[in-house]
Amino acid sequence: MEVAIFSSTPYERRYLDEANKAANHKLKYFDLPLDMDTAELAHGYGAVCVFVNDKGNAQVLEELHKRGTRLIALRCTGFNNVDLEAAAKLGIKVVRVVNYSPNSVAEHAVALLLAINRKVHRAYNRTRDGNFSLDGLVGFDLCGKTVAVVGTGKIGCVFAKIMQGFGCQVIGFDPYPSKQFEALGLQYAKSGEIGEKADIIALFCPLTPQTHHIINAQTLKRAKPGALLINTSRGGLIDTEAVIEALKSGLLGGLAIDVYEQEADLFFRDLSSEIITDDVFQRLVSFPNVIVTGHQAYLTHEALTTICETTLESITAFEKNQPLENEVKAA
């Protein structure tokens, strides 16, 4: 099957080419993201493969449909960037990667937590300049601290288990309780308990209308002073302006994120020689107690292998009129 792959990168192409040895599809790589300006590039391609910041709104889907696209293959878990209702009306199937490596994202969240708590980023910059002063680098023991895991799916459960290994008290929050989370001997937070007890809040929930800006001015006011906030899920879970105010006031002790609400204009490209005009982002990274990585939590050999293999397997199933195990539909 002919597949147009948008927002492709050199490292992804190696894994896709390897996975395609078994699938034998005709892959066409585009560096550009999918949007209204680039949709014409998919002319004649039955399947379009997209990533987290590609646009799959109704207008783009209509353009793709006109040009022969019948399948959207997301090489990621989240699907908030695709209008599923519009896809259904057009008869376009949508598949995603349900499971790849929950360890990759959970472990990166732990890395961010350790780095922001122990000021690893500041120490690294100091020692490169020959500054070995320890002033301002005091952190705290994770052992005995309370960690709130918001979103207790596979990734949240892996993170919770790691935090147990550090000797933390772990509580969960999720409208859909997980037996796997409870099997770890953990309990879900009661009303107000996260704000009162959590020294660390880690987000692992999908971006939906219900979770959009789940971290906002009101929830931050209820947070324990000095709490650390970790987000490796979707940028839209956080109201960035509200977080900036909480950082300025000292209410929030630190922020470590791998995602950003307006990341589509920044991430996955080299802007080191350009002026970044996103004032909110520039304010955010100006804080010494903020760490930002560019959506790399999933970036492990194991995760990339599974993502590419699963994506191409779904395309093969569609081509052969087989059931689509990873299909996602409008609610």
Return the active site residues.
Answer: 234, 263, 295
The contacts found for 180-189 with CB under 8 angstroms, 24 or more apart, are 180/152, 180/154, 181/149, 181/152, 181/156, 181/157, 184/157, 184/160, 186/160, 188/152, 189/148
Type and span of the H or E element at 228? strand 227-231
Structure token digits, residue 232: 């490796």
Vertex 117 angle, CA 115 and 121, to 5°:
35
Note the maximum CA span of the chain.
64
Q: Which of 171, 178, 119 lies closest to 153 in space, CA to CA?
A: 178
Amino acid at 259: V
What letter does residue 215 receive in the DSSP assignment?
A: B
| C-alpha gyration radius of the chain | 21
Q: Concatenated DSSP letters for 274-300?
A: S----HHHHHHHTSTTEEE--S-TT-S
